[in-house]
Amino acid sequence: MSPAPAPAVPATTEGGAGPLPDGVLPPGVRDRAFALLQRAATALGALDGARWTVDAELADGHLVLPHVVAAANGLAPPPAPAPPRPAPGGGWVAVDLGPDDDETFRTFCAVIDDEIAAGAAPPDADGFARRAQEWRLAVTPYRLDLRRSATGAGTVPADTPGRPVAAVERGRTERGGRGGAGGDRPLDGVRIVDLTVMWAGPLVTWLADHLGAEVRRIEPTCRPDGLRAGPRPPGAGPGPGALHVALAGDKTRLDLDLRRDDDRRRFERLVAGADVVVDNLSPRVRPNLGIAPAHLASLRPGLVDVSITAFAPDRPEHDWVAYGGGVDAAAGTAARPGPDGGTVVAPGVVPHADPLTGFEVFAALVEALVARRRGEPHPLRITASLQSALDPLPRHRATGPVTAAGVDPAALAALTDWAGRLVGRTVVRDGCRVLPCPLRSADPGPARDPGEVGRG
């Protein structure tokens, strides 16, 4: 059974920038994003009785958010995704190093070189990535299709429906709980504890915050969000980077190091009064911190616990660390047909797993809150992954190998030009120009003024 076709994205939009130019995103990404946001709009309408719609131009902007934020704030375009690196035994890998990973990666490569010099077989792309993951390095193999992965186990059927978010435990609460009741915006009264960083997870809680939820973001000084240190507009003064501001919204930051007993107890008190917890931590982190799902459920019966990982639980890579670009590479959606038709060149212009996952999870979360408000069974655990968000998208079927290539300069130039024309749709927050929410009500009452200053 094939997924139902996504509703077509409007060809023209109100702001004047028009749809994203061809070649920026792989086929199907815009349609999927628009369908997910429409799904969220339907659920929001069920909460407050209003008619919610999707601004297709702003939805496009959030798919390429780093480029729009850079253009809006007079910053240089984001660096292009790094070209694939050859693996010693053949194939290519995506290497996404964090700010403290360079020395670790050099040491890892030296170990591999020493093993090869001693007579070991050179690892191919899959083997090299598996070894790098043992060092907790975000290295993934380039593949043409994750469903034909060399790792074998846990493959995804070709007819996987386009609903990758899985509710693995369901519960029931009394009708008329806090979620969605008693406020002017659909999520007024919803309390969220946010353990997310970077893009996909913060996008979920940013959408919820914009639509009325109270979001408490756990971000310890000892391990800040990787986007916080990004560049700010010229003359804007000190503060978090513009991309961080774009996803911080009106969330309240709490400097809690959950390795410390007193901070963890404070976190547990927050959970006991919350409706939702959202994290995009590596699967091993929460058990190591003593905040596994069963423990949080004991603190707050009826808690909706949302976890986002890089790869799905049924994948052998589930415990891997990866960013959106690395997941795109492993899933086969980052590459594009080569000029001779027999090869595939990579990477794409911009990663797309993060925003798709954010839209997917937000829609599932609002649907859970709708069921909760009605007193119906609803998910108590929502699990999602960047890889699963890509499953309904087309994969390239070229028979040749993936080859090293840079980003298509024409597509990148077209994206930069388009992002510059979208600047008129942005609003000012904390000295930075940011995009407003792509979901809006036909009744202007529930919508938050997107220009109000946040606490992020």
How far, in Å, CA of 400 to CA of 403, rounded?
Answer: 9
Is pLDDT above 70 for 447?
no
**Mean pLDDT within 173-186:** 50
pLDDT score recorded for residue 222: 85
Which among 223, 304, 299 is positioned nearest to 267, based on CA atoms?
299
Q: Between 372 and 107, name the one with better pLDDT.
A: 107
What pLDDT shows up at residue 178? 38
CA–CA separation, 41 vs 37, rounded Å? 6
pLDDT value at residue 449: 40
User: Which of 89-103, 137-151, 173-187 bottoms out in mean pLDDT, i.e. has the lowest?
Assistant: 173-187
Higher pLDDT, 91 or 150: 91
Mean of pLDDT values over 36-58: 92
The partner residues of 436 in beta bridges, in order of sequence, read none
Question: E strand or H helix at 295, and its extent?
Answer: helix 293-299
Q: Give the SS3 label for residue 314.
A: coil
Return the pLDDT at 194: 94
Q: pLDDT tens-digit profile of 125-141? A: 999 999 999 999 999 99
Can you tell me whether residue 215 is helix, strand or coil? strand
| pLDDT for the residue 396 | 60
The number of residues in the chain equals 456
What DSSP string describes 143-211?
A: -S-GGG-TT-TTPPPTT--S---EEEEEE---TT-STT-SSSSTTTT-EEEEE--TTHHHHHHHHHHHT
Q: Which of 271-275, 279-283, 404-408, 440-444 has the highest mean pLDDT?
A: 271-275
pLDDT digits (tens, 9 = 90+) for 318-367: 889 888 888 888 887 777 766 666 666 766 788 888 999 999 999 999 99
Query: What is residue 416's predicted lDDT score, i.e. its pLDDT?
Result: 92
The mean predicted confidence, pLDDT, of the chain is 81
Task: With residue 382 as reference, give the H or E element that holds it.
Answer: strand 378-385
Contact partners, residue 155, CB within 8 Å, separation at least 6: 146, 147, 148, 149
pLDDT of 317 higher than 70: yes
Helix (H) or strand (E) holding 218: strand 214-218
156 has a pLDDT exceeding 70: no
Least confident range of 10-24, 191-205, 321-335: 10-24
- For 278-301, the pLDDT digits (tens) are 999 888 888 888 888 889 988 998
pLDDT of 145: 63
> What is this structure's pTM?
0.85
Strand partners, 140: 94
pLDDT at 146: 59
Share of the chain above pLDDT 70, in %: 80
Out of 63-77, 357-371, 440-454, least confident range: 440-454
pLDDT bracket for residue 83 (50, 70, 90):
confident
Nearest by Cα to 429 from 255, 210, 279, 225: 210
Q: Are strands 214-218 and 252-254 parallel, antiparallel or unpaired?
A: parallel
